[in-house]
Amino acid sequence: MFYNYNLLTMQRKVFVNSAVSVLIAFMAIQTQFSCNSNKLASAPQASSSTKESLNKKYNLDKIKLPPGFKISVFAEVPNARSMTLSPKGTLFVGNRSGDKVFAVVDKDKNGVAENVYTIASGLNSPNGVAFKDGSLYVAEINRILRFDNIESSLQNPPQYSVVTDKLPKDKHHGWKFIAFGPDGKLYVPVGAPCNVCESDSIYASILRMNKDGSGMEIYAKGVRNTVGFAWHPQTKQLWFTENGRDNLGEDVPGDELNIALQRGMHFGFPYCHQGDILDPEFGKAKSPDNYTKPVLKLGPHTAALGMRFYTGDMFLPEYKNQIFIAEHGSWNRTTPIGYRVMYVRTENGKPVQYIPFAHGWLQDDGKVLGRPVDVEVAQDGALFVSDDKAGAVYRIVFEK
Ligand SMILES: [Ca+2]
């Protein structure tokens, strides 16, 4: 897997441990050979045997999909978290337990990335990535960073500037998903700094701000933690997933799929969960009717994270403008749940079906092979899926 990664480590050791000219010459040849600086970690070439062995290495033969769909490894990306795609087709991928941001490039458009560039390292849970007007925006826990003109220099990425460093530093639910809305503003969630608690109004919210960080305001309230949202391609409404509280029961509350129709709506946390369960501690003397209910209850403890509307043309027409949700999987349920990509079909703007689309990362014996974090629609209509446990980005295509 991390062939060049390991090579890179080796090269560094070589540099540190010895200045023997032969080895430096070896380095030079390697550098020349890879046509790149030391920022580059390359994925293997896409010969069919390599592709097959890579798919096997990531257990993709165990993943079940509807008829006609196929999944393969697009790129090996350590701790692959949230994703964003540039108009040119560069896939940017963040880290949560790692400290890096990656740019993944499939130069010859054959469905396997050749290059995985490290854009930045040493960052504080740089989970969220968003792209706007040639710049890459990265969300750490308490800062938003901007890398200008990023695609002109993936091999030697520019220094970042700080858009804002005014966000809370709490690590609890501190990692972020970010995205630009149709209004051109950057939407930035701030999760609750706890399992369940009352807190300052900036917490348990979705903020929005201008792309220079000015004009920061609370857009949605009562949101325990969202790590995935998207705007409906037609209605332009903001849909978001939300993770329900823990320690209330095995089967409640459900995670939520919500719609924020306008600024100022309150989605219940910490008073009301899944739209109809008052919190035993904070919900006293409250009414569920005072809060916006989810449009769909997702499975309890599934850890629903990234979601996108399917805007591509590769899948059957029935998938158009419907929703895919990455469920990271439960960590505290006796019978584990999640570890899959779900499909939500809507009719007249309302969910009518919630079924597994890609599953098998959770084996029948309880073994976990991977944990989906985010989904993104590729330019050719394929669906990317990031997996932070296995450390990869997959590509799902429809072939019939
Ligand atoms: Ca390729």
Tell me the CATH number at 279. 2.120.10.30
107 CA distance to ligand 1 middle (Å): 5
**Same domain (yes/no): 274, 161:** yes
Of residues 99 and 25, more confidently modeled: 99
How far is C-alpha 129 from the chain's CA centre? 8
Rounded to whole angstroms, the Cα distance separating 288 from 269 reads: 11
243 and 350 belong to one structural domain = yes
Ligand 1 centre and the CA of 115: distance in Å? 8
DSSP label at residue 245: P
Model confidence at 26, pLDDT cuts 50, 70, 90, reads very low
Residue 17, pLDDT > 50, answer: no
**320 pLDDT higher than 70:** yes
Structural domain contains residue 52? yes
User: Do residues 70 and 364 touch, judged by C-beta distance below 8 A?
Assistant: no
Asked if residue 385 belongs to a domain, the reply is: yes
Q: 72 alpha carbon to ligand 1 midpoint, in Å? A: 13
One-letter amino acid at 157 equals P
**C-alpha 93 to ligand 1 mean position (Å):** 17
Spatial neighbors of 106 by CB under 8 A, at least 6 apart, are: 74, 89, 91, 112, 113, 114
List the 238-242 sheet strands across, edge first.
229-231, 238-242, 254-260, 296-300
Ligand 1 centroid to 76 CA: how many Å?
Answer: 13
pLDDT for the residue numbered 47: 74
Please answer whether residues 158 and 145 qualify as being in contact, where contact means their C-beta atoms are separated by less than 8 angstroms: no
Separation of CA 75 and ligand 1 centre (Å): 10
Structure confidence by residue, pLDDT tens digits, 96-127: 999 999 999 999 999 999 999 999 999 999 99
Q: How far does the chain reach from its first CA to its final CA, in angstroms?
A: 30
**379 near 56, Cβ under 8 Å?**
no
What is this structure's pTM? 0.89
Q: What is the pLDDT of residue 254?
A: 98
Please indicate, yes or no, if residue 332 is contained in any of the structural domains: yes
**Centroid of ligand 1 to alpha carbon of 44 (angstroms):** 9
Residue 382 C-alpha to ligand 1 middle, in angstroms?
A: 14
Same domain for 246 and 350, yes or no, is yes
The answer to the question of residue 235 being in a domain is yes
Cis ω before 87 (30° cut-off from 0): no
> Do 89 and 230 share a domain, yes or no?
yes
Question: Distance, CA 45 to ligand 1 centroid (Å)?
Answer: 7
- If asked whether residues 305 and 355 sit together in one domain, one would say yes
How many domains, the chain? 2
Kind of pairing between the strands at 265-266 and 217-221: parallel
The pLDDT score that the predictor gives to residue 303 is 98
Q: Are residues 6 and 144 in the same domain?
A: no
Tens of pLDDT, residue by residue over 224-233, are 999 999 999 9
Q: Is position 371 within any domain?
A: yes
Confidence of residue 5 (pLDDT cuts 50, 70, 90): very low
Report percent pLDDT > 90 for the chain: 86
Q: In the chain, count H helices and then E strands.
A: 3, 28
Are 164 and 221 in the same domain? yes
Distance 116 CA to ligand 1 centre (A): 11
| Full domain range(s) for residue 98 | 46-398
Contacts of residue 328, Cβ cutoff 8 Å, sequence gap at least 6: 302, 303, 304, 305, 338, 339, 371, 372, 373, 388
Q: How far is the CA of 8 from the centre of ligand 1 (A)?
A: 21
Q: Ligand 1 centroid to 195 CA: how many Å?
A: 42
Contact between residue 310 and residue 377 where contact means Cβ atoms under 8 Å apart: yes
For residue 263, the tally of other CB atoms under 10 A from its CB is: 13
Asked if residue 323 and residue 220 are part of one domain, the reply reads yes
| Amino acid at the residue 57 | K
Residues 25 and 135 in one domain: no
Cβ atoms within 10 Å of 379's Cβ, excluding its own: 14
Residue 380 has pLDDT above 60, yes or no: yes
What mean pLDDT is reported for the chain? 90
Tell me: do 53 and 123 sit in the same domain.
yes
In a domain, 40, yes or no: no
Question: How far is it, in rounded angstroms, from Cα 173 to Cα 188?
Answer: 13
Residue 41 lies in a domain: no
Residue 342 sits in the same domain as residue 306: yes
- Please check whether residue 209 lies inside any domain of the structure: yes
> Predicted confidence band at 46 (pLDDT cuts at 50, 70, 90)?
low
For residue 112, how far is its CA from the centre of ligand 1 (angstroms)?
4
67 Cα: distance to centroid of ligand 1 (angstroms) = 25
Confidence (pLDDT) at 30: 37
DSSP element (H, E) containing 351: strand 350-358
Residue with tokens 């098998």: 360
Q: Are residues 316 and 288 in the same domain?
A: yes
